[in-house]
Amino acid sequence: MTLEEIIKQCDEQIAIGYSPAPSITLIMPGKWGKTNKRRLCKGGPIGKIVNDNFDGRGITVLFDALEVKEFLSNQSLQRSA
């Protein structure tokens, strides 16, 4: 997925308006480590690991959609500047 596609997914979840906070689920490379948390990328938001995909596709991580959108929007602005 591109940054724009992830931001669009965040926008859709935010528009639905789940309480207490809208969330987005991403499949990320790697394995479930010693903790139940995974960072989106260096300096990015931290999500909760909710599933280990034993088929070799990585792990499923639940992130706060508002945090991800804010972080990725800032990254997009930095790239375009």
Task: Provide the pLDDT confidence category of residue 21 given band limits of 50, 70 and 90.
Answer: confident
Residue 44, pLDDT score: 94
Is the model's pLDDT at 79 over the cut of 80? Answer: no
Query: Each residue of 2-12: pLDDT tens digit?
Result: 888 999 999 99
Give pLDDT tens digits for 38-50. Answer: 999 999 999 999 9
**47-56: burial string, b at 16+ Cβ within 10 Å, e else:** bebeeeeeee
Higher pLDDT, 57 or 46: 46
